Amino acid sequence: MDRRIHRVARLAFAACVASCGKADRDAIVVADVPAPYRELFEGWVANDQVASVWAGFPYDRLRLERWCVWGGPNLGDLEFHRGGRAVLRGPVDGEQGAFEGTIDVFDYGKLCYALQKLDFEGMKARYSDEGFDVEESTLTATSPRGTKQVVDHGDVGPIGLWTLRAAFDGVRARIHWEKAK
């Protein structure tokens, strides 16, 4: 055990040393991030700027629905709204129900950026393996321009779609969920 900790410490130190002198290059990377998302990567948003940052995101609502075909359990219906409202219909800590929480501006903005970066708008409307007893998911993004929906039946869509679902799951895990009133 001690050898592994020592090894991890050496690797962390090596990574730190390797990153020295990268400040200029990192600043260029942040400068290359599109304007609506740049502040998210600078580490903070001033209180008087939060509303304008929310307003700059392209999507009003993001939704991920999952279910098992042929009568399996509802695996979750997750919604994130511009402004921070989060809604989950499905399991939380083993309990099925309707739950509410708050998504922060950083997570919502990074999900919007991921949708843009992974070309969600360019994905097909449906991916399917035509299997019967498989998981199906629907990812929906709603903007003032309209709604884009992508269905993945059998987890056969592109890696970008899988990555987006994983990102949604990561954000879901960070939210403190309470029973809906």
Task: Report mean pLDDT in 10-residue bins for the chain, 181 residues.
Answer: 40 41 57 89 89 97 87 81 97 92 97 97 93 84 97 93 96 96 89
**Residue 136: half-sphere exposure toward Cβ, Cα within 13 Å:** 18
Q: What is the CATH number of the domain that holds 76?
A: 3.30.1560.10
pLDDT score for 70:
66
* C-alpha to C-alpha distance for 74 and 138, rounded to whole angstroms: 13
Domain that holds residue 138: 58-179
Q: Which of these, 41, 57, 64, 37, lies nearest to 169 by C-alpha position?
A: 64
Distances (CA, A) of 48 to 44, 51, 54, 67: 12, 7, 12, 40
- DSSP secondary structure letter of residue 160: H
Q: Which residue type is seen at 30? A: V
Give the total number of structural domains in the chain: 2
> Are 7 and 77 found together in one domain?
no
Predicted structure pTM score: 0.81
